[in-house]
Amino acid sequence: MAEKDIKEAVQEPEEKAPKKKKEAQLQKQVEELNDKLSQEHDKYVRLYAEFETFRRRSSEEKLALVGSAAAKTIEGLLPVLDDCERAMQMLAESSDEAAREGTSLIYNKLLEYLKSCGLSEIEAKGQSFDTDFHEALTQVPAPSDELKGKVIDVYQKGYMLNGKIIRYAKVIVGA
């Protein structure tokens, strides 16, 4: 019996060795699969982030395109607004009340619509000359010291659309 116990003792480590080797191989496979899973998850997260960036950028570009199209349309209407102002100045001296009222009505409706779209006039006359808002056509001697460096007259009104300048005010500056 002693011989039998010795054989069993010798056989047990031999049987345990393949099990440990197999467990080590399985553990290695699990680690490799976890690494692959981690890499794939990382790729997925990066791809998702890139897609979200693309989607956000696309919608921003679409809004910018619509905004620039509106700005171009409104820019095209500014000369009509200027012409209405000139017509109202000419008709102020006229005795034709109907023409004065009709031109004023057209001007006011057009101006109100453009204001509802975000158009605002740049205040210029009497303001300090500012190259961010004004374009100087010429400088003339200022009638008084307090008008030096200020806008004396406005040749053409300037406008902003939603806080962005679409036409600078053309002004005459006191020197």
Q: CB-based contacts of 107: which residues, under 8 Å, 6+ apart?
A: 81, 84, 85, 87, 88
Output the pLDDT for position 79.
93
Does 88 map to a domain?
no
Does 107 map to a domain?
no
Q: Are strands 134-140 and 169-174 parallel, antiparallel or unpaired?
A: parallel
Does 129 map to a domain?
yes
Does 172 map to a domain?
yes
Domain around 174: 121-175
CATH number reported for the structural domain that contains residue 126 in this entry: 2.30.22.10
Token pair 């158009």 in the structure block, residue: 119
Residues above pLDDT 70, as percent of the chain:
90
Provide the pLDDT confidence category of residue 12 given band limits of 50, 70 and 90: low
Average pLDDT score over the chain: 86
Q: For residues 25 and 67, which has the higher predicted lDDT (pLDDT)?
A: 25
Does 97 map to a domain?
no
Q: Give the DSSP H or E segment for 32.
A: helix 2-92
Q: For residues 53 and 146, which has the higher predicted lDDT (pLDDT)?
A: 53
Does 106 map to a domain?
no
Give me the number of domains the chain comprises: 1
Q: What is the pLDDT of residues 112-142, one digit of tens each?
A: 999 998 899 999 888 888 888 999 998 998 8
Q: For residues 86 and 144, which has the higher predicted lDDT (pLDDT)?
A: 86
Residue 51 corresponds to which tokens in the numbers above?
């897609």
- The stretch 37-52 carries a mean pLDDT of 94
Does 53 map to a domain?
no
Residue 111 CB coordination number (10 Å): 15
